[in-house]
A and B are shown apart, each in its own frame.
Chain A
Amino acid sequence: MRELSVSVITDTVAGMCEEANIYLGDDVSTALKQSLEVEESPTGKEVLKQLIDNLEIAKNEQIPICQDTGFAVFFVEIGQDVHLTGGTLEEAINAGVKKGYTDGYLRKSIVKDPLYDRKNTGDNTPAVIYTDLVPGDKVKIAFAPKGGGSENMSAVKMLKPADGEEGLIDFVVNHVKAAGPNPCPPIVVGVGIGGTFDKVAVNSKKALFRPVGQPNPDQKYAGLEKKILDKINDLGVGPQGFGGRVFALAVHIETYPSHIASMAAAVNINCHACRHLEKTI
Chain B
Amino acid sequence: MNIKTINAPLNDQDVLSLKAGDNVLVNGVVYTARDAAHKKLVALIDSGAPLPIELKGQIIYYVGPTPAKPGQVIGSAGPTTSGRMDAYTPKMLEHGMKACIGKGLRSQAVIEALQKYKGVYLAAVGGAGALLSKKIKKCEVVAYPELGAEAIHRLEVEEFPATVINDAYGNDLYSEGARSYAR
With A43-B23, A54-B128, A69-B66 known to touch, is A234 a contact of B123 (CB < 8 Å)? no
Q: Is the CB of A243 within 8 A of B78?
A: no
Listed stretches B43-51, B151-159, B169-177; interface member: B169-177
User: Which residues of chain A have a CB within 8 Å of any CB of chain B?
Assistant: 40-43, 46-47, 50-51, 53-55, 57-58, 61-69, 105-107, 120, 147-149, 152, 180-182, 184, 234-238, 240-245, 271-273
With beta carbons under 8 angstroms apart, the residue of B69, B83, B161, B179 that contacts A236 is B179
Q: Is the CB of B182 within 8 A of A63?
A: no
Q: Is the CB of B104 within 8 A of A181?
A: yes
Q: How far is the CB of B74 from chain A (nearest CB, A)?
A: 9
Report B-chain residues with C-beta under 8 Å of the C-beta of A234.
Answer: 182-183
| Distance between Cα atoms of A243 and B21 in the complex (Å) | 10
Report B-chain residues with C-beta under 8 Å of the C-beta of A55.
Answer: 130
User: Which residues of chain B have a CB within 8 Å of any CB of chain A?
Assistant: 1, 21, 23, 63-69, 72, 75-78, 80-81, 83, 103-105, 123, 125-131, 133-134, 148-149, 161, 163, 173-174, 176-183
With A41-B177, A43-B21, A105-B75 known to touch, is A240 a contact of B126 (CB < 8 Å)? yes
Q: Is the CB of B21 within 8 A of A149?
A: no
Q: Is the CB of B103 within 8 A of A64?
A: no
Q: Is the CB of B66 within 8 A of A245?
A: no
Q: Is the CB of B76 within 8 A of A67?
A: yes
| Distance between Cα atoms of A51 and B80 in the complex (Å) | 16
With beta carbons under 8 angstroms apart, the residue of A50, A65, A243 that contacts B161 is A50
Report B-chain residues with C-beta under 8 Å of the C-beta of A63.
Answer: 66, 72, 75-76, 129-130, 133
13 new A-B contacts, CB < 8 A, other than A57-B131, A68-B129, are A41-B181, A43-B23, A50-B125, A63-B66, A65-B129, A67-B65, A67-B76, A105-B68, A106-B66, A107-B67, A237-B178, A238-B181, A243-B176
